[in-house]
Structure 1
Amino acid sequence: MAEETGKFNQETTENDPTKSEIAEGSYPLTQGLNSNDDAGVSSEVLEDPSTLKIWDASPIPFEFTGKAKEFFGIWLSNLLLSILTLGIYSAWAKVRRRRFFLGHTLIGGHRFDYHADPKVILKGRAVVVSVLVVLSLVSELSPVLSGTSLVLLMLALPWLANRSLRFNARMTSFRNIRFDFIGAYGKSLLAFVLLPLLGLLSFGLLQPFATRYSGRYLAANYSYGEAKLESDPQLKRLYKGLFQAFSIISLPVVVLLGIMAQHDWELERLILIPDDGATGWFIDFSPFALIITFYLAFFHYRAVVRNSILGSLSISSIHQLKSEISGFRLAWIVLSNTVLTLISLGLLQPWGAVRRWRYETESLQLIPGGSLDEFIGKIQPAEGVIGSEYTDLQDIDVSV
């Protein structure tokens, strides 16, 4: 009987390679199981539980351990030294700032790191400043040259963005494995110039298409060592977020128009001949209400974009990210940070920066599909710092 059973199992494993692999213990859940050579089946359930190679598939939260008090010292010294050196120290200030935030960002107890050389950054800034000065002087000669300079800058933006993303990616590492970014000019032109412009001209109706393309472009060109990244945000989810943003904006407009209709107020009369009592409050309150709703709508859509792009981001088709940021909470953090920074004459700016970074970081989770040790680092020399410095000087944010 045992021989017949052995024959049956042998034939089964020969016909089904998966069963053969399981019998040999190549699958993580079967590591440590012994096979009976005579019968072809497991004779013992488990020899040693410690030999099981099972990873924990539960989400790993991102953590931020930085303290505002510590960053305040870095921020203050950066500010004073940058002023005393007429901006030269700003390259070192940038590196110190990035190292603080990345160095206190953890996944599973492991930190990120930033490796940029301030001297290299300073050289890039010197070149960029020189080019900007030349373009500014040329623009003063004639309106035609001024327009030409603007067009040249717009055409150069995709190249600058790619160089900036590539430099900062290669200067960032996690567990001694560096990131990388490789982007093509044509796709970058679509992602950062043409499609956003099309979204603007369509009054936002085509913005989800631009957003989706940009997210897919960025993810597809990033890599972590030899592991490729990819993201495919759902267009339906982006349009849902856009509709919600439009609803937020339209709600006060409908309410204000309803108040005008109820009191039989004419818009032209309200603007040209406002009443001190009856309509004065309406004129004062309306712009404020519209500004607040536009502000909330902007951050709501931004949160939807972030959650859609990062939430569909996978690493080597194994590990998955999850983002659960709230647009309204982010709007409150940014607004309160701005107010407190103004009231404190800038002294609370470091506290606000740490507060926002902590919230955005801790809204992320990594859902592992296997061991993180599988990835092999692909360290390459740094290139393209000039693009990075241009985006810093012009306050252009090309990140998700």
Structure 2
Amino acid sequence: MAVTVGIWIPWARVRNRRFFYNNTRILDDGLDYLATGFDLFKGWVVVTIILLAFYALPMLGVPFLQEGLSVLLLLVYPWALNKSLRFNARNLAWRDVRFDFHGSYLGSLWNFFLFPVIGILTLGLLLPMASRSMRDYIASRYSFGTAGFFSESSLGAYYGAGLKTLLLFLALFFPLMILLISTAAGAIIDGVSYAGEGNDSSNLALAVLNILMVQIHPLAFPLTLGFIFMVTGAYYRALTRNIMLGSLRLKGGVRFRSTVSGLVLAWIVVTNLLLVIVSVGLLLPWAQVRQYKYLTENTEIRPITELTGFIDRQSRAGHSVGDAVGEAGDIEVSF
């Protein structure tokens, strides 16, 4: 049953993407997603076979075979990521002009893997630089027709976003940690005092309740940290998104602007998660639409030249929807 349902996942993903893209209106025209469920299904089969082989290797009893495959998968992943980004770009079009992605293996390896790890190892000192490098790499590798994108973002702006995020982290971390520690200490003290007041059943019940609170309390620390990282992560993502889109240009005369609020996005992310959990997943589609709608409504496209002529030039250049039909066989990797 699970296998049968899983087979239809690629078709569901195509319908999901078409819904979002077709309802994203730019000058009254929606985006077109050209891929089919079968295109994604081919990549899904390849990934499934690789994962099954990976988890079946320990049963063969061959030493270091799984470790070797793990290293191989890590080395292959940047290539697969490039294929995925290009597949999705070439199957996205607006006004019959398709997008494209021109990434390189070493570029993806450095910007998506090595540089972020270096940023973490430097205790976050180089993380803003890694964020800028990753976003500028993505922006400069996309194209719309024959026109390429490029970004001129400031490194200082990314460090400013990192500093604001750090201050928000500290503003949440210390009060919440003090609250948790004081609650745990109070529960222990109350439990001891209730237990020492004799064999009265109410006192014993209160003592047991406080002991249970202390036992459950350790779960509060990772949950609280998860909440803090969720808030600060959404906040930082909003700030860096605004920086990247504010500096993004499309060669030929198009600028962009993002006005996403970090605190509003954090509120949407946290409340979406809570509502999805409470509804046992039933509100997941609504939550996805809510976040996507907020992001798109706070994104502006600012043409600095006559846009109709620009679109006509891209269409005549031969990068139209018809050229993308034969490109829909690449591996699909969720990123």
TM-score using structure 2 length: 0.81
Instruction: Please list, as runs of the form range in 1=range in 2, the aligned pairs for 1:63-74 lying within 5 A after superposition.
Output: none
Task: Go from structure 1 to structure 2 and tell me whether the alpha carbon gap of 1:169 and 1:256 turns closer, same or farther (over 3 Å shift).
Answer: closer
Instruction: Please list, as runs of the form range in 1=range in 2, the aligned pairs for 1:123-272 lying within 5 A after superposition.
Output: 123-140=42-59, 141-142=61-62, 144-255=64-175
Contact kept? 1:164, 1:384, Cα under 8 Å: no
Higher helix share: 2
Task: Go from structure 1 to structure 2 and tell me whether the alpha carbon gap of 1:133 and 1:256 turns closer, same or farther (over 3 Å shift).
Answer: closer
Task: Go from structure 1 to structure 2 and tell me whether the alpha carbon gap of 1:129 and 1:275 turns closer, same or farther (over 3 Å shift).
Answer: same
Contact kept? 1:163, 1:384, Cα under 8 Å: no
Contact kept? 1:320, 1:369, Cα under 8 Å: yes
Quote the offset at 1:114 in angstroms: 0.5
Contact kept? 1:154, 1:193, Cα under 8 Å: no
Contact kept? 2:234, 2:265, Cα under 8 Å: yes
Contact kept? 1:98, 1:114, Cα under 8 Å: yes
Task: Go from structure 1 to structure 2 and tell me whether the alpha carbon gap of 1:302 and 1:276 turns closer, same or farther (over 3 Å shift).
Answer: farther
Q: CA RMSD in A?
A: 3.0
- Matched letter for residue 250 of structure 2: I
Work out which of the residue numbers 246, 252, 255 in structure 2 matches 1:311.
246
Task: Go from structure 1 to structure 2 and tell me whether the alpha carbon gap of 1:372 and 1:208 turns closer, same or farther (over 3 Å shift).
Answer: same
Quote the offset at 1:177 in angstroms: 0.5
CA distance in 1, matches of 2:329, 2:116: 25
Contact kept? 2:42, 2:331, Cα under 8 Å: no
SS at match of 1:345: coil
* 1:99 matches 2:18: yes
TM-score using structure 1 length: 0.68
Contact kept? 2:235, 2:262, Cα under 8 Å: yes
Quote the offset at 1:143 in angstroms: 5.7
Contact kept? 1:158, 1:189, Cα under 8 Å: yes
Aligned residues: 302
Task: Go from structure 1 to structure 2 and tell me whether the alpha carbon gap of 1:155 and 1:120 turns closer, same or farther (over 3 Å shift).
Answer: same
What does residue 203 of structure 2 align with?
none
Quote the sequence identity (%).
35
SS at match of 1:134: helix
Task: Go from structure 1 to structure 2 and tell me whether the alpha carbon gap of 1:83 and 1:227 turns closer, same or farther (over 3 Å shift).
Answer: same
Task: Go from structure 1 to structure 2 and tell me whether the alpha carbon gap of 1:144 and 1:274 turns closer, same or farther (over 3 Å shift).
Answer: farther
What does residue 302 of structure 1 align with?
237
SS at match of 1:276: helix
* 1:323 matches 2:258: yes
- Matched letter for residue 224 of structure 1: F
CA distance in 2, matches of 1:200, 1:206: 8
Runs (5+) with no aligned partner, structure 1: 1-81
Provide, for residues 334-380 of structure 1, a one-character-per-residue CA deviation record: whole Å limited to 9, x for no partner: 22122222222222111111111100111100111112221313144
What stretches of structure 1 move > 4 A for 4+ residues in a row?
252-260, 280-291
Contact kept? 1:318, 1:369, Cα under 8 Å: yes
What does residue 331 of structure 2 align with?
387
Provide, for residues 270-310 of structure 1, a one-character-per-residue CA deviation record: whole Å limited to 9, x for no partner: 59x943389x8997877665544333211111111111112
What does residue 275 of structure 1 align with?
189
- Matched letter for residue 180 of structure 1: D
SS at match of 2:300: strand
CA distance in 1, matches of 2:291, 2:176: 33
Runs (5+) with no aligned partner, structure 2: 193-209
Rg comparison, structure with higher value: 1
What does residue 195 of structure 2 align with?
none
